[in-house]
């Protein structure tokens, strides 16, 4: 089983500004990947989706691409 990326890197809060990290969890259409695709634990997946959404509001990440 894959371990959660954020747990292994000891990241407690996910920052919406770190787009390079967030991009790992988006597909080619800039959709957020599912929990079972990312291997992220439930707690961090929740925080991840919030971070991505905040990032989209600030136009750091696209709502849609292509």
Q: Kindly list the residues in this chain that would bind other proteins in the complex (CB under 8 A).
A: 8-10, 12-13, 16-17, 54, 56-63
Shortest Cβ 36–other proteins spacing (Å) = 23
Sign, CA dihedral 39-43-46-47, equals negative
Minimum separation from the CB atom of position 52 to other proteins (A):
11
In the complex, the smallest distance separating the C-beta of residue 31 from other proteins, rounded to whole angstroms, is 14
The Cα 44–Cα 14 span in angstroms is 8
CA–CA dist 59, 16 (Å, integer)? 11
């Amino acid at each position: 089983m894959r371990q959660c990326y954020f747990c292994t890197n000891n990241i407690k809060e996910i920052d919406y500004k770190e787009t390079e990290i967030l991009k790992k969890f988006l597909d080619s259409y800039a959709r957020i990947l599912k929990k079972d695709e990312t291997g992220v634990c439930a707690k961090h997946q929740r925080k991840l989706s919030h971070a991505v959404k905040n990032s989209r509001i600030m136009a750091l990440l696209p709502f849609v691409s292509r």
